Amino acid sequence: MHRRRPQWLSSCSSSSALRARRYWRTVGQPEGIVSEQDTDHHFVHRSTIPTMHFQPSLPRLPIPKLEDTVKRYLAAQRPLLNDDQYRNTEKLAKEFATREGKFIHRDLLEHDRMNKHTSYISAPWFDMYLSAREPIVLNYNPFIALNPDPKPEYNSQVVRATNLVVSSLKFLNSLKNNYLRPDIYYVNRKWGQSKVFKHFIRILPPTLSWYGAYLVNAYPLDMSQYKSLFNSTRIPNLNKDTLFTDEFARHLLVMRNGHLYVFEVLDPFGNILHPSEIQAHLIQIIHDADRLPGLELSYLTTEERNAWAAIRQQLVQTGNEENLKKIDSAVFCLCLDNTSPQNEIELAHCFLHGNGFNRWFDKSISLIVTDNGSAGVNFEHSWGDGVAVLRFINEVYRDSTEHPALVPEASPALFVTSYDKLEFTLGRTATSAISTARLKFAEKRKKLCIRSFRFQKFGKQFAMNQNLSPDAVFQLACQMAVYRQYGKLLPSYEACSTAAFKHGRTETIRPTSVYTKKCTTAFVDERGKHKVEDMRNMIDECSKYHKRLQLEATLGQGFDRHLFALRYLIQRRGGRIPDIYNDPAYKNINHVIVSTSTLGSAAVNYGGFGPVVPDGFGVGYNVFDDWIGCIITSYSEKGLEELLKCLEYTLNDIFDVLEGKRLKWY
């Protein structure tokens, strides 16, 4: 570890903390710093209702009835199979429900009854992620791209990075001090602003608070994942990784040109380092890193997990343990890229994987800011899902743009404490492993194709005016596009949060149904044979069924997680795997060709992730008010280009029918 301390500086951590407190507690600000008239300079807000007030009374994730799970499973299989295949799958599923499945389901219920502090899916889901041995980059880590700061002059790299860091620390302080507003879904939004509601809920005991919110149609969400947003890292181990958290660490990890730096951004009392000092550190780090050749150590985080675990152990044995602990315990990772992506595709590549060595992909959260001020987040997925990350992004974006800590004309502090540059002892084995990781990453990265898509004839408002679910319309378009491209429907997946329940994770919506098959056949194979009114009715049927699937999944009444948990329990006990799981149809439906996910927010430009199977597509989409946009990834450039053409074709078809027009012949 190399300590960087300019010789003309002699300030220490305590004096830095004093300056931070002195700055944040006064109305008068040094030149270049924005003044806020309230006293909450260390928090994004102070909630009347404590952050974790609802956790003890949250309802538990239900385990569906086995017969309902089998019915839903067969309904999802029906459009993917011919008659003979379906009869065989139906036979195996019903045998499972009346034989071994019945006993395993009973054991799962008993196990759940004995573990009321959590959900039945939590431990199996953690195990699934942490036991996976594939590299996490491109396979698991998603990204979210933030919108630019609405004030263009605030989009320079150092200014934006400083403001995002300060706002992130304010979010952390709010979370730690129980000041962050709880996640609540309001059926009637006015209750969210009601002081009467807030004070009524606050005085209720935590064991009853959820029920009080329920009385006014407000539904608190699980926030257990938030504890892993900060100071957390996924540690590679042989066969199964672990999650590490050090809630007492106060330093930030900064990466530039592959080099790693740390400096304290919080004092022991939670006071945030003066923004001008953060600014000064970032300027110095950029200057230091840019005069050196790139350090490629972090390529190791792109490796297969067992390979990375073995090399990490060697790094520990050769004297690098302290530096690795500094990385693992850092509040989060700030990646200052020396590239300037010029369009959505370049930005998506940057935020999804970058150059491979200016990321520590194991960190729970990595905040990325490019040379031209574009910002995004790449996050490790085992610890949590999009709900917690999106909340973090929403609050940080709002706070950094509405209450920036630093203005563009600000001057960096002249007197700053030291920062540490992490220097590693790398033996021949580690150096060789880094070279191998670099080559593997470059090969995989070269194969990945990313395309952006925009359809501007209609969006959310048009669909809703037609009494249709905007999400259902896009999912139907995906089904039609795949059918047009491949001549058949293929397994598809839409992620749905179950955060309404204690320790809920996600459930799967299966967009492929007998309704989408009927509609797709009419639009493609039977083009011109149906009245416009009949085709419109088919779209209505698809929308209604999709909304039903969404509701069931949100309420924990899908089939995927239940079947997964049953199989997990069997495997843990070393039992024989039932025939339903060895059915080619079961394996096929879980070979997801079209994996989709959506995040809607004023802070988010778009998001994306890699394909979940080598021959598949990763579709990150958003249905905006007046248009539809998505980022699609694939390892087949030709297949991706064809899918985009088919998607535009089908959206035009749907739009024409909704406008009462007959389908065109192309």
Q: Which residues carry out catalysis?
A: 381
Instruction: Name the β-bridge partners of 272.
Output: 266
Quote the CA–CA distance of 196 and 193 in Å, as a whole number: 9
Residue 79 near residue 513, CB atoms below 8 Å: yes
Query: How many residues make up the chain in this entry?
Result: 666
The residue assigned the tokens 């040094």 is 30
| Alpha carbon distances (Å) from 86 to 76, 94, 581, 583 | 11, 12, 15, 11
Termini Cα distance of the chain: 65
- In one letter, which amino acid is 46? R
Instruction: Name the β-bridge partners of 497.
Output: 506
Q: Which DSSP symbol is given to 396? A: H
- In one letter, which amino acid is 508? T
- Report which secondary-structure segment, H or E, holds 249: none
Task: State CA 96 to chain mean position distance.
Answer: 34
The residue assigned the tokens 């995002």 is 164
Quote the CA–CA distance of 336 and 504 in Å, as a whole number: 34
The residue assigned the tokens 């017969």 is 67
Quote the CA–CA distance of 92 and 105 in Å, as a whole number: 16
Q: Cα torsion at 83, 89, 91, 97 (round to 10°)? A: -140
Residues contacting 148, CB < 8 A, separation 6+: 155, 373, 374
The residue assigned the tokens 């909704």 is 658
Instruction: At 369, give phi and psi (nearest 5°).
Output: -130, 125
**Quick count: other Cβ atoms within 10 Å of Cβ 113?**
11
- Report which secondary-structure segment, H or E, holds 38: none
Q: Which of 565, 471, 468 is nearest to 511 (CA)?
A: 471
Task: State CA 547 to chain mean position distance.
Answer: 23
Token pair for residue 40?
A: 């909450």
- In one letter, which amino acid is 225? Q
Instruction: Name the β-bridge partners of 184.
Output: 220
Region class of 639: left (phi > 0), else alpha (psi between -120 and 50), else beta: alpha
